[in-house]
Amino acid sequence: MAAGPGREEPAPSGSGRAAQGGAPQGGTVEQAKEACLRLLAVRARSRAELGQRLSAKGFDAEVTAVAIDRLAEVGLVDDAAFAEQWVQSRHTYSGKGRAALAQELRRKGVAPETAAAALDGISGDDEQERAAELVRRKLRSLPASVDRDTALRRLAGMLARRGYPASVAFPVVRAELDAAGYAGGSEPGDD
| pLDDT mean by block of 10 residues, the chain; 191 residues | 41 39 63 95 95 94 95 95 96 94 96 96 93 95 90 96 95 94 56 40
Q: How far is 116 from 46, CA to CA, in rounded Å?
A: 15
pTM: 0.75
Would you say 110 and 93 are in contact if contact means Cβ atoms under 8 Å apart?
no
Cβ neighbours around 153 below 10 Å, total: 14
In degrees and rounded to multiples of 5, residue 14 shows phi and psi of 100, -10
Distance between CA 174 and CA 172 in Å, rounded? Answer: 6
Residue type, 138: K
Return the closest-CA partner of residue 70 out of 36, 108, 119, 23: 36
pLDDT of residue 96: 95
